Amino acid sequence: MPAFAFEIASKLPKVGTTIFTVMSRLAAEHHAINLSQGFPDFDCAPELRALVTKYINSGLNQYPPMAGVAPLREAIVEKIATLYDAHYDPETEVTVVPGATYGIFTAIATLIRPGDEVVLFEPAYDSYAPSVEVSGGKPVYVQMRFPDYSIDWREVQNAITPKTRMMVINTPNNPTAGVFSAEDLRVLESMLRGTDIVVVSDEVYEHIVFDGHQHQSVARFPGLAERSFLVSSFGKTYHVTGWKMGYVLAPKELMAEFRKVHQFNVFVANGPIQYALAEYMRDRDAYLSLAAFYQKKRDFFLEGVKGSRFKPLPSRGTFFQNLRYDAISDEKDTDLAIRLTKEHGIASIPVSVFYREPPSHKVLRFCFAKSEETLARGAEILCKI
Ligand SMILES: Cc1ncc(COP(=O)(O)O)c(C=O)c1O
């Protein structure tokens, strides 16, 4: 192809190849145990695969309705009502989307104009800031306190200006594996009362909360639900990250605007998979058993690294376990992550990549959504470092 001859004013000049791509490539090259990638190395339930096949074979292969198929929208609002005691209208207040990342991007694109400020919490999932910047918005960062990753809500209050249009929150949190308490959400609810600030609440790990704690959804807090886009993902819940299926809930006024953008962005999410998910959601146990399933994996991995020089930080939700390495090395986490992959055959993600200006915390993130065999081999390597 001949080169494009003109200068391109990039909308995302700082975005290059991400560490996730780098680590996965390195892990493959060095045949390393790959605990860097945030997705399962096991398959979804055969029943779910069979349902997708059933709906494809039954000929439901053309465009579904723009907001999502009715049975799935109904199943979603019913689940939310049962779990969080919040009542969304399936007609006007829920939209099925091709993945949570898309839902977050579209919610931001729906409301953010050049110059608008969006409060983000660092460390942050990597899609938030670019999604804001593509719309001309300005990310305003509040750092969670190290090492417990708690939030200083006075700092959040100070970050709010007349230009603040939105705030993106994420609980359970990637990469910190922390969860918001009910008190956190109550403080946020009262802080935002009387403002027109909209919350985008990334709750993709809603069913992966450990040690008997409850997921604190914005849906549980009327003062937050009335101003929030609640975004979730079937990918995390049903071990199908490659399907890119999720949903967004919001009060009808916000959802009407969201759908205007969604309509011309993708129009619809995959049809037959929606019918399959709707039917599969009848089995409540599939999502209600997820926390115990992952807690067992977390505990198995923690037991395995007990004898190592790595120090675990609390993992209260998600499928990530962060390990501090202060006792092992002074290296930057990016350097160590690369060295461990090349020299020891284990890949992780350095947590500094989730910050705009990397702090010097010495923490690596390990994904435990893996088979016990993989986790055992990974832990064995970590014990020798
Ligand atoms: C916090 C967070 N939000 C969103 C996503 C993406 O979800 P989806 O694959 O449905 O776009 C991820 C995936 O890693 C995540 O960790």
**DSSP 3-state of 367:** strand
Examine the pLDDT at 379 and tell me if it is beyond 90: yes
Q: pLDDT tens-digit profile of 242-299? A: 999 999 999 999 999 999 999 999 999 999 999 999 999 999 999 999 999 999 999 9
Let me know: does 140 contact 120? Beta carbons within 8 Å. yes
Q: How many CA atoms lie within 13 A of 145 on its CB side?
A: 8
Contacts of 176 (CB under 8 A, 6+ apart): 123, 144, 149, 313, 322, 351
Q: Is the CB of 202 under 6 A from ligand 1?
A: yes
Helix axis angle, 372-383 to 290-305, nearest 10°? 30
C-beta 178 within 6 A of ligand 1:
no
From the CA of 136, how far away is ligand 1's center (Å)? 22
So what's the pLDDT on residue 186? 98
> Over the chain, what is the mean pLDDT?
97
pLDDT band at residue 20 using 50, 70 and 90 as cut-offs: confident
DSSP three-state, residue 368: coil
Pick the residue whose CA is nearest to atom 7 on ligand 1.
Answer: 100
Cis check: omega of the bond before 64, within 30 degrees of 0: no
pLDDT band at 19 (very low <50, low <70, confident <90, very high): confident
- What is the pLDDT averaged over residues 138-146? 98
- The pLDDT assigned to 72 comes to 98
Q: What is the pLDDT of residue 308?
A: 97
Residue 105: strand, helix, or coil: helix
Q: Is 97 in the pocket of ligand 1 (CB under 6 A)?
A: no
Give the pLDDT confidence score for residue 163 in this predicted structure.
98
Predicted confidence (pLDDT) per residue in 97-122, tens digit: 999 999 999 999 999 999 999 999 99
Q: Among the atoms of ligand 1, which is closest to the Cα of residue 103?
A: 11
State whether the beta carbon of 348 lies less than 6 angstroms from ligand 1.
Answer: no
Q: Which runs of consecutive H residues, i.e. helices, occur in the chain? A: 19-29, 46-57, 70-84, 100-111, 128-134, 153-159, 182-192, 222-225, 234-237, 252-265, 271-280, 284-288, 290-305, 333-339, 372-383
Instruction: Specify the pLDDT at position 60.
Output: 97
Our answer on whether the CB atom of 68 is closer than 6 Å to any ligand 1 atom is no
Split at pLDDT 50, 70, 90, the class of 192 is very high
The percentage of the chain sitting over the pLDDT mark of 70, rounded to a whole number, equals 100
Q: Tokens at residue 35, please?
A: 């605990």
**HSE-CB for 342 with a 13 A CA cutoff:** 7
For ligand 1, say whether the CB of 170 is within 6 Å of any of its atoms. Answer: yes
Centre of ligand 1 to C-alpha 381, Å, is: 28
CA distance between the termini of the chain: 48
pLDDT in the model for residue 202: 99
Taking a C-beta distance cutoff of 8 angstroms, is the pair 61, 271 a contact?
yes
The token pair that represents 271 in the structure block: 């049809």
Return the ligand 1 atom nearest residue 318 CA.
Answer: 16
Pull the structure tokens for residue 36.
């860097």
Residue 21 has pLDDT above 90, yes or no: no
What number does the ligand 1 atom closest to the CA of 170 have? 1
The pLDDT score that the predictor gives to residue 356 is 94
Nearest to 279 by CA among 2, 112, 58: 58
Question: How far does the centroid of ligand 1 lie from the alpha carbon of residue 369, in Å?
Answer: 14
Nearest C-alpha neighbor of 314 from the set 296, 299, 330: 299
H helical segments located in 306-365: 333-339
How confident is the model over 175-201, as a mean pLDDT? 98
Mean pLDDT confidence for 73-82: 98
Site to substitute for ligand 1 among 23, 108, 131, 233, most atoms within 8 A of C-beta: 233
Ligand 1 close to Cβ of residue 38 (< 6 A): yes
Residue 247: enclosing H or E segment and its boundaries? strand 246-249
Distance of CA 238 from the midpoint of ligand 1 (Å): 13
